[in-house]
Structure 1
């Protein structure tokens, strides 16, 4: 990558970093991306896809496959801790997962394609909203505009702290775990703290469910039986000494390698909760948020990405197990050959979703180059 392009992309990454918007609220980010794409000479820029999604289309004029390159628009509702001059200007919000860097890479692809169109077929650059909630890819694909740009192949990446800076890892088959947030509300009856016998406290059920739900999934090997239940929040009654509680709330994240195992884990958890509520005479409501299906890489797309890295002399390792974290990118596999690779952010780099995380700018030219090579390799396949 030419130094001037790298400098421009780094500047744009820093600008995006300063104004993070959380899932479903990416209006300003989408507008900025649309304006930047228009300056990169696409044949079309589509906006408002599945919310605030944006897509840029680069036509070759020749028959061939449609290749999608996908990145994410949203930030996180987490206060950033940073002394960088480009730190977040939006209190309580930050690009602490690196989506600003992912956008910069795909903008780099746009810039190059503006000067040199694909040899055949077309390339669609996808800037997807609401990845962090698991709803963005679903909404993007469900939008009627998507039918006109539906890709045959889609490639994406995620930066990965703990992996050597600039190194690439990926796997065939399961690539990211399925997960969902389970919210449990137990309802009894309040009473004066001096007369708890006149109420119906959910404290006993809550005390039972915390270890019982944790015991449903201990993690372990990332195979077909993998299941992990993580207790993330619990609340009993109100913050007062004068009232015996009549309500309890418990949040649990369920995580599995496959969607089939997730179905089983949900059934086990719901049966356990229902039995406990019934035994204690409590009402119960169960709801789910942040629902992510498993992300699965197809063999052909993985092979293409592997060959793309080889052509650019970028270290690439095929690994046998998926990542524990979740991604909604798997939705694009419903109708396309897809693969996500992990690009090392450094062995000692702060972890994703941490207040002190920042995307390494050195990755911008590497990610851009891999995407461009993947386009070339796909057209040779």
Structure 2
């Protein structure tokens, strides 16, 4: 990549960094991407995919496969604590996951395709909304415009702090976990605090649920994890005993089926505890992420791309515990999600002093270019 192109992508990334938008609110970000892509003269531009999503389609002259390359539009509801000149200008919102950098990489791929159209088949560059909430990919896939061009392959990367800059982290099969946010609502009965025997406080039952849920994975044969992330008991009223409680937990596993089984066991466990205390219990689910599964054929293209670029590659054996909305594409097509090292001393994702390292942009663009060369030339 020449310096002029790199500087252009770096500047674009830093503008995106200053104006982060949350999941489902990415209007200005989408407008900036649309403006950037004007010069690429894509053969087709699809707007409002699954919300604020955008897709740029580049057609080849001959028949061939369709491949998709995805990045994410959304930022996080976290305050940024950095001294950089291009720090977030939006209070309480920041690109602390690197989606600004991922967008810059796909923008770089757009500049490449402007002068290097695929020879056969077609290439789709997707800017996906609402990744952080686990909703965007499903909405994109359901969109009638997307249904007309379901890809044969879908590729994505995620920068990974803790790994050497520009190193490629790759694995066949399960790569990132399935997860779901579980909300447990417990209903008892209020009473005057001086007469707790007249009510039915859910305090003890809630405490038992918290302990039991986090121990439940020990009984599972495959990897599972339950992390209680929030609990609320009654209201702040010193004259009143609590009448209800809420427990929130993230439930995760490496396979979708194992996660569903764990959710089933979690419900049964909470129902039994609630029954023991004469309480009512109900469940709600939010932010469901499918497991990300790397297809062997898609993996071959990614692995070969890294070899062609003479990059250091780390073949991991154990999947990552975090979840990625890209997993929803794994249900519908052959996918590859790989990691791009962001530096061993880089702050971790979602920490408020994280900032995507611009110097890894060319490697991200290069990986996708090499995959396109294999599939479409």
- Give TM-score scaled by structure 1 length: 0.96
Aligned runs of 1:8-23 on 2, under 5 Å? 8-23=8-23
SS of corresponding position for 1:102: helix
Counterpart for residue 368 of structure 1: 365
User: Could you tell me how far apart the structure 2 residues matched to 1:157 and 1:62 are?
Assistant: 28
How many correspondences in the alignment? Answer: 377
Stretch of structure 1 that moved more, 332-341 or 264-273:
332-341
Unaligned runs of 5+ in 2: none
- Name the counterpart of 1:86: 86
Correspondence for 1:332: 329
Residue 172 (str. 1) matches residue 172 (str. 2):
yes
Unaligned runs of 5+ in 1: none
| Cα-to-partner distance string for 1:31-87 (whole Å, 9 max, x where unaligned) | 111111122221121100011100001111211111111111111111111111111
What residue in structure 2 maps to residue 355 of structure 1? 352
Distance 1:334 1:227 in 2: 20
**Could you say which residue in structure 2 is the equivalent of 1:319?**
316
Match of 1:292 in 2: 289
Looking at structure 1, the residues matched to 330 and 38 of structure 2 have their Cα atoms a distance apart, in angstroms, of: 28
2:202 aligned residue:
202
How far residue 219 of structure 1 moved from its aligned partner, in angstroms, is 11
Contact 2:289–2:328 (Cα < 8 Å) also in 1: no
SS at match of 1:324: coil
Q: Quick one: structure 1 residues 215 and 374, their matched pair in 2 at CA, closer, same or farther if it must change by over 3 Å?
A: same
In the aligned structure 2, how far is the partner of 1:219 from the partner of 1:313? 44
2:242 maps to which of 245, 249, 252: 245
Deviation track 1:222-275 (CA, whole Å, cap 9, x = no partner) reads xx7001111111111112322111111111111101111112101110001111
Alpha-carbon distance in 2 for matches of 1:195, 1:285: 27
How far residue 355 of structure 1 moved from its aligned partner, in angstroms, is 1.0
Residues in 2 aligned to 1:340 and 1:314: alpha-carbon distance in whole angstroms: 17
| Residue-by-residue CA offset, 1:284-332 (whole Å, 9 max, x unaligned) | 1211111011110000110110101111111122222211100111222
Structure 2 match to 1:225:
222
What's the CA shift for 1:334?
3.0
Q: CA deviation at 1:379?
A: 3.0
Map of 1:134 onto structure 2: 134
Q: Is the 2:122–2:376 contact (alpha carbons within 8 Å) kept by the matching residues of 1?
A: no
3-state SS of paired residue (2:332): coil
5 Å-filtered alignment, 1:269-284, equals 269-284=266-281
Give me the CA root mean square deviation: 1.4
Report what 1:108 is aligned to. Answer: 108
Deviation at 1:336, TM superposition (A): 2.1
Aligned-partner Cα distance in 1 for 2:187–2:39:
56
If the length of structure 2 is used for normalisation, what is the TM-score?
A: 0.97
Alpha-carbon displacement from aligned partner over 1:134-181 (angstroms, at most 9, x marks no partner): 110000000000022221111100001111111001110001101111
Aligned equivalent of 1:155 = 155
Query: Which stretch shifts more, 370-379 or 9-18?
Result: 370-379
Q: Distance in 2 between matches of 1:118 and 1:155?
A: 16
Residue number in structure 1 paired with 2:124: 124
> C-alpha distance in 1, partners of 2:147/2:286?
27
Conserved 8 A contact 1:152-1:335: no
Q: Counterpart in 2 of 1:50?
A: 50
**In 1: Cα distance, 2:268 partner to 2:70 partner:** 38
- Between the aligned partners of 1:297 and 1:20, the Cα distance in structure 2 is 29
Secondary structure, counterpart of 1:284 in structure 2: strand
